[in-house]
Amino acid sequence: MSTSSQDAPQSAPAHPARRLRDPRSGRHYPLDPLRWRGDDGTPLLVSPAHAPEPADIVTADRSLWRYRAALPPLPPVSLGEGCTPLLARTWSGVEVGFKLEWFNPSGSFKDRGSSVMISALAAQGVDEVLEDSSGNGGSSVAAYCAAAGVGATVLVPAHTSPAKTLQTTAYGARVTPVDGDRDATAAAALRRAERTVYASHNWHPYFLEGTKTLAYEIWEDLGFRAPDAVVTVAGAGSIVLGCDLGFTELLAAGRIAALPRLLVAQPANCAPVHAAFHAGSGSGSGSGSRSASGAPAEQGAPAARASGPWRPTLAEGTAIKEPVRLPEVLAAIRRSGGTTVAVPEEDIASALRRLAATGLYAEPTSATAAAAVDHFAARGELPPGGTTVVVLTGSALKAPTATAQIIEGTP
């Protein structure tokens, strides 16, 4: 049964002293949910936790809070997020497990991060937050704010899927369209963040604390072992970073023998992570903290950039030209021995149709990960006999216009 925001946490093992850390400078800050970036404008992480043993998992809790031993001690704001199916299938001759993240309460993986982030802010007495999103993140934050009794304003690009803005509005959030693309929306949010609490799924370190439970859950799904590879799509890269955090904690605790390779897909129309990875940029944890001239990076700006030109994509959830945590995403991929691929729009559309033909109704962003399996297999990145998990991030119910364009050929 889910735990409400009013329920106190069940007894759990003692937590090690944890802090906020800047992976670029090495600077540390007290563990404060109201702090979402460093003094120099760089994004932060929560310092590592000690991974739970199987016996530490609260199996009676059908939510990500079953891993509370590795989470900050908080009264959970939970809607039953996590515990999503891992479905064994054969895809283009490759044996995979599709992790169906649209079974989360608001319909996407973002609920993992929102649950922990909003739990932390609600515990601080916050009564109003600001978020910016291309859709799924905003509807997720709105859902958890509704559960916690916290007001929310969500900035969205003006072209955001009406299904996603309707869902966000239904939860009681105030939706504010912003002219321009996803990056223009983020810039508008940063300007407002000086005056209100910024609950950004791209910036807030507690969000990644929730996302890392995806790694713990895959480990549990597979009988407490790691897969050989995780195939995922990336926009801002929160799944990449969540898997890196979770599996790294499991490795440090001796729960797994090696990190799974992170095989990361982006649409070819907007692929800054892929471009930067193959250009060799941002390879170190401290890379990009200063501009090319040697001056400190502009406050609130990404620490590394990969130029386009980028075009609109069916996979709207990935259309982020300048990911805030680009150096960390690149480092996570390299640390795992992983790689990236840029997927053409026609392959995304084909994968969505193929998934639907097997009963899996994935939005185009999710279908990008399935399409990438073909590319990675052709490159020899998925040898026979390995264990591969493919993360399908959200339902096609969230993107009816793009899905209709693919299925029915509508303009």
Tokens representing 11 are 């007894």
With 0-12 / 13-18 / 19 or more C-beta atoms within 10 angstroms meaning exposed / middle / buried, residue 245 is buried
**Range 206-239 burial, b when 16+ CB lie within 10 A, else e:** bbbbbbbbbbbbbbbbeeebbbebbbbbbbbbbb
Tokens representing 293 are 């001239």
- The average pLDDT across 62-73 equals 97
Closest of 193, 154, 195, 200 to residue 324, by C-alpha: 200
176, β-bridge pairs: 155
pLDDT of residue 236: 93
pLDDT of residue 109: 96
Distances (CA, A) of 260 to 97, 178, 215, 280, 387: 14, 38, 10, 21, 9
pLDDT in tens, 328-355: 999 999 999 999 999 999 999 999 999 9
| 261-267 vs 388-392, strand pairing mode | unpaired
- The average pLDDT across 275-294 equals 55
Q: Over 70: is that where the pLDDT of 51 sits?
A: yes
pLDDT in tens, 130-155: 998 878 899 999 999 999 999 999 99
Distances (CA, A) of 33 to 44, 135, 198, 205, 265: 11, 23, 10, 8, 31
- The average pLDDT across 270-277 equals 96
Q: Over 60: is that where the pLDDT of 297 sits?
A: no
Q: Which residues does 187 contact at the CB level (< 8 Å), separation at least 6?
A: none
pLDDT of residue 284: 44
pLDDT of residue 410: 63
Distances (CA, A) of 274 to 40, 101, 301, 384: 27, 23, 19, 25
- The average pLDDT across 16-40 equals 93
Q: Around Cβ 87, how many Cβ atoms within 10 Å?
A: 15
pLDDT in tens, 210-236: 999 999 999 999 999 999 999 999 999
Q: What is the DSSP letter of 302?
A: -
- The average pLDDT across 179-197 equals 85
Q: Over 50: is that where the pLDDT of 300 sits?
A: no
pLDDT of residue 191: 87
Under 8 Å between Cβ of 229 and 381: yes
Identify the band that residue 74 occupies on the pLDDT scale cut at 50, 70 and 90: very high
Helix (H, G, I), strand (E, B) or coil at 130: strand
